[in-house]
Chain A
């Protein structure tokens, strides 16, 4: 009786046992890699805006305080997107004819808001409050990254829950003195120093490591 399978099938079947393990592992890794990739999270992806507003220029080179535009950051959950009037406080005087700024002037003339593209948007099922974070020594750059280096604004974090929890589980690793919160060039001390200072600040600012579901999912 002729054999159904060729001799090589023995090798293939053995290989398939190990192959299955490798393939399952590789699939798992691929899923993980996709989930963490900028393609999926939009992390570090520059957004085109109606006006190519540069934080590097305004917050970095010119040294305008964050709160000059984001006025409600200390009082409200939302840091606030400035109205065109805020832009025009300066731009009615300087660069008044720059073509790049025409949409800003148009917005001012027509009394129609500029439609900025949101860069950091949390899902609706998450409650987040800027004011409490700022008040407890969480710097702007802790979450928003090196904003003073960004010609076009990009998302600095993944906005995954793990990203929030990194700090909520160990605030001492990220907290900074309140006086440095709005400093876009703040450099944290070395890891050991940070931990020492962080523990002190956590106690001083009465920072609670809030991790219950309802802290954010209200």
Chain B
């Protein structure tokens, strides 16, 4: 991927640039800040927000009912005690991974194409982690006792069970949320100052002024900003790998067939990035169309993201292959049965759908034509999102519903409240996202301006 940031040569205009032609500092700032400051509220935005908000209210309703009646409103019945709640938890947290990957690892690797997508990818991360974090808490049955998961001095003289991966989850996810939030906010400060200076409205000036924390753009500010960004990138980098590794431990530490395997951490991380990039595409494609940002989020960006998806998708495919191979190679009758059960058990259609969505259909991305076809790319990103959701369903439900003793087997069927919770978190996610694109610069003004600067300099020197 290093060649993706390749420099222009000989002053010839790049036929496939990472920023549209003719952009100067002024146009970049105008274009991005005007979406927040001067663009009138459009019916489309209101309509989208209303739908998302409706789904959010569905989430409220579901949670209220859950508090009153308990987790029995979901389809979870022993032996399948995990169901949708954990499927959705893993799915959402996986989606969150792309933001950190783009903003931290690609920053350290000096990948210039990240600049125009990192801001909303990070926002997506934050919102996805919020949705994810809700599920284990709701799944506890008594969500108001959630603080039992934290080690704090208490009159019971008790610690959480540190040998339990669920406690590791708490640390992994809260750390991830904190670091992502800090990273996102630090990156926003100079842009918030720009908004403060450009806002006409008094209230907007005060709010952006408070958020920009007295940023004046002095050399010292910039130097500290750069240092803080680098430090946070350094902190966030291991989290890209560690968080989903810990999530995979929820399964691997258990002895259920199909869970107790060492391939899980790497293949979960790859899957997380896979679904994360799919979600970035799902969001980026409509946004760039509706807000006319095709010259900032260019076809080249979509192309690169599609390549990342293809690569991580292949790692995931390798994971499935090894999983199947090792089940039979182990000679363990339960592992073998688990695999056969996936192939032609009661949930087999979902397994084959998973294979098609995650492995077979994304092979289209080998073609440059497909990667440049925005509409098709959008559909593919949805397919991959669905595939990754199915992956978690297959891992959790197929293994739990049929483990060792046939007498304790049982089927899992989601109830309408399972679906309502899931759809409700979409409501939360998109409500936050709609508010985000309206009130904050969805593309980093500062970073795109420095990109303009570099691009122009290269032209000047050639």
- The stretch that binds A, out of B17-25, B154-162, B260-268, B397-405, is B154-162
Contacts of A35 in B (CB 8 A): 155
Residues 15-58 of chain A: 1 if any B CB is under 8 Å from the residue's CB, otherwise 0? 00000000000000000100110000000000000000000000
Residues in B128-172 with C-beta less than 8 Å from chain A: 153-158
Is A215 engaged at the interface, CB distance under 8 Å to the other chain? no
A160–B155 contact, CB under 8 A? yes
User: How far apart are A174's CB and chain B's nearest CB, in angstroms?
Assistant: 16
Given A4-B196, A4-B205, A4-B206: A158 and B155 interface contact (C-beta under 8 Å):
yes
A161/B214 contact (C-beta < 8 A), A4-B196, A5-B209 known: no
Choose one: A9, A13, A36; the contact of B155 (CB below 8 Å). Answer: A36
Classify chain B: how many residues form its interface, as a range. 10 to 19
Q: Which of A5, A9, A36, A161 contacts B157 (CB 8 A)?
A: A161
Report the bound CA distance from A97 to B163 in whole Å.
Answer: 66
- Chain A: residues with Cβ within 8 Å of the partner, total of 14
Q: Does B213 sit at the interface, judged by CB under 8 A?
A: yes
Residues of A within 8 A of B155 (CB): 35-36, 158, 160-163
Q: In the assembled complex, which residues on chain A have CB atoms less than 8 Å from the CB atom of B209?
A: 4-5
Contacting pair A32 B153 (CB below 8 A): yes
A150-183 vs B: 1/0 string, CB under 8 Å? 0000000010111101000000000000000000
Q: In the complex, which of the residues A4, A35, A160 has the most CB atoms of chain B within 10 Å of its own CB atom?
A: A4
User: Which residues does chain A contribute within 8 Å of B213, judged by CB atoms?
Assistant: 13
> Taking CB as reference atom, which chain A residue is nearest B209?
A4
Selected from B157, B196, B214, the residue in CB contact (under 8 A) with A162 is B157
Known: A4-B196, A13-B213. A162 touches B156 (CB 8 A): yes
Determine if A214 is an interface residue (Cβ-Cβ < 8 Å). Answer: no
Q: Given the complex of chains A and B, what is the CA–CA distance between A160 and B155 in angstroms?
A: 6
- A158 surroundings in chain B (CB, below 8 A): 155
Determine the distance from Cα of A145 to Cα of B206 in the docked complex, in whole angstroms. 60
Chain B residues whose C-beta falls within 8 Å of the C-beta of A160 in the assembled complex: 155-156
A158 to B209, CA, bound (A): 50
* B152 to A, closest residue via Cβ: A28
A167 to chain B, nearest CB (A): 12
Task: Report the minimal beta-carbon distance from B339 to chain A, rounded to whole angstroms.
Answer: 37
B154 to A: closest C-beta gap in Å = 8
Q: How far is the CA of A163 from the CA of B154 in the complex (A)?
A: 11
Partner of B214, one of A10, A32, A163, A165: A10
Report A-chain residues with C-beta under 8 Å of the C-beta of B206.
4-5
Flag B187-220 by CB within 8 Å of A: 1 or 0 each: 0000000001000000001100100011000000
Nearest chain A CB to B211 CB, angstrom units: 12
Specify which of B155, B158, B213 lies most central, judged by the most chain A CB atoms within 10 Å of its CB: B155
| B156 pairs with A161, CB closer than 8 A | yes
With A4-B196, A4-B206, A5-B209 as contacts: A13 and B214 at CB distance below 8 Å:
yes
Closest CB pairs A-B (n = 6): A160-B155, A161-B156, A162-B157, A4-B209, A165-B157, A4-B205
Q: Interface residues, chain B, CB within 8 Å of chain A?
A: 153-158, 196, 205-206, 209, 213-214
